[in-house]
Amino acid sequence: MSSATIFGAVAKFFNERFPVEKLNFQSMVQQKTVPVHRMSWGYYMGGLTLFFLMIQVGTGLLLLFYYEPTVNDANLSVEYIMNHVSVGAVVRNMHAWSSSFMIFFALVHLISAFAMKAFTKPREITWIAGVLLLFITFALGFTGYLLPWNQIAVNATKVGLQALDATGAYLPGVLSRVPHIVRETFQGEATVGQVTLTRFYALHVVILPLALAVLLFVHLVLVQLHGMSQGIDREAKKRELFFPFFFVKDLSVWAAVFFVVFFLSLCVPFDCFLPFPLLDPYNALGATPPDIKPEWYFYFLYYPLELLPFWAVLLGTSTVVVVLFLTPWLFRKSSRRTLRYLALAASAYLAAMTLFGQQIYELVKR
């Protein structure tokens, strides 16, 4: 194959994925339509995730005014925000609640897009950008968890980093050193301490949000260029204009969920959601608190780690990651019915581990 042919094939691939001729007001706004069918609810999920991201950015910026990323003051500054700063508790609660909602809706968005086969040509790059966005969202959750610098947070971070390190034992040759080097890079010193906190802070407030912004831009531009996917096997009988009709509906849903998050933040502190309130600051000479668990959105990984050998969880997780990236090609010919069953199975697994993980653990271990 000549270089001209290869270049031509690459150019064709990108021309189809980035139809720049549609970069105009008419295509992206005036003519954009949304199919109306029984899976239409799926079209709201991406917007909702974006809305929670906006809340995260807004409340995160507000928290920056008072949060101090030092092992000495981090916990105290969060306490100060909660107890003394005007609307500080609401802002922090909204940040915490909204992070959970954001991860929840990002997952629902991914699963519903999968079930609706929204990843097929020419939307492969949109899908991959979406998968990367989901991983960044999880990374934001992981890095943000350490910032209050309490006993649970520091120990959970140690576990997370150590789990990363442990994957090295299953890699061949020189690759086996890579996870250890990555852990040491993130940790920055002998044990989780000030250097780790500074690095996690930089990741949480600058590096990951920047990466997220770039990928989100690509994701959203591609969604606008390609329009909404068909979603069901047959062409929908009815379509509605995105602007203004669907957009107004989108805004109404945003308003409703904002009310829910605001109400929860005002009346139910996030600490009540998990049995770990803003705990005492980290004490290097203290034990790990009993019944330590990660945030609920890591249960799907945490309980298998409790129940199965590490290699099995690692193999399963790596397979899922590879499958997620190759979805546009692996499931190119699958029917939407098959995809719906797979999506249902994935949802059932996530729901079972998240809601009943502890009971399953006790049942198996008994």
Partner 1 sequence: MAEDSGDTVAKTDLGESSLERNAQARRRFLRGAVALASGAFLLSIGIADKFFRFFFGPRLSQSEEGELLETRLKRMQETVALKQLELERQHNNYIFVAELSDLQATTGKYFIDYELRPALAFVGRDGVPILLSAKCTHLGCTVGNQVNERNQVLCPCHVSYFDIETGKPNPGAPAKLPLEHISWVLMNKERRIIAGRSADGKGTGNLSGNYPPDTAVYIVKNTESVS
How far is the C-alpha of 203 from the C-alpha of 301, rounded, in Å?
22
Q: How far is the CB of 280 from partner 1 (least distance, A)?
A: 11
Secondary structure of residue 270 in the 3-state scheme: helix
> ∠271-277-281 over CA atoms, to 5°?
140
Residue type (1 letter), 346: A
Q: Which of 239, 259, 361, 350 is nearest to 305 (CA)?
A: 361
Of 130 and 281, nearer to partner 1 (C-beta) is 281
Of 80 and 170, nearer to partner 1 (C-beta) is 80
Secondary structure of residue 305 in the 3-state scheme: helix
Of 39 and 159, nearer to partner 1 (C-beta) is 159
Of 127 and 302, nearer to partner 1 (C-beta) is 302
**Locate tokens 């909702």: which residue?**
48
Of 79 and 271, nearer to partner 1 (C-beta) is 79
**Locate tokens 């994935």: which residue?**
346
Residue 211, classified by CB atoms within 10 Å of its CB into exposed (0-12), middle (13-18) or buried (19+), is: middle
Of 310 and 325, nearer to partner 1 (C-beta) is 310
Q: How far is the CB of 317 from partner 1 (least distance, A)?
A: 15
Tokens representing residue 74 in the block: 């981090």
How far CA 361 is from CA of 71, 163, 310, 346, in Å, comes to 34, 19, 15, 19
Q: How far is the CB of 87 from partner 1 (least distance, A)?
A: 5
DSSP of 80-100, one letter per residue?
HHHHTSTTHHHHHHHHHHHHH
Of 162 and 359, nearer to partner 1 (C-beta) is 162
Catalog residues that contact partner 1 under the rule CB under 8 A.
Answer: 62, 65, 71-73, 75-76, 80, 84-88, 91, 155, 158-159, 161-163, 166, 190-191, 281, 283-292, 305-306, 310
Of 169 and 202, nearer to partner 1 (C-beta) is 169
Q: Which of 136, 192, 140 is nearest to 162 (CA)?
A: 192
- Beta strand 33-36 with 238-241 is antiparallel
**Locate tokens 């809305």: which residue?**
51
How far is the C-alpha of 9 from the C-alpha of 19, rounded, in Å?
15
Q: How far is the CB of 88 from partner 1 (least distance, A)?
A: 7
Q: How far is the CB of 167 from partner 1 (least distance, A)?
A: 11
191 Cβ contact list (under 8 Å, min separation 6): 158, 284
Q: How far is the CB of 45 from partner 1 (least distance, A)?
A: 29
Q: How far is the CB of 173 from partner 1 (least distance, A)?
A: 23
Q: How far is the CB of 291 from partner 1 (least distance, A)?
A: 6
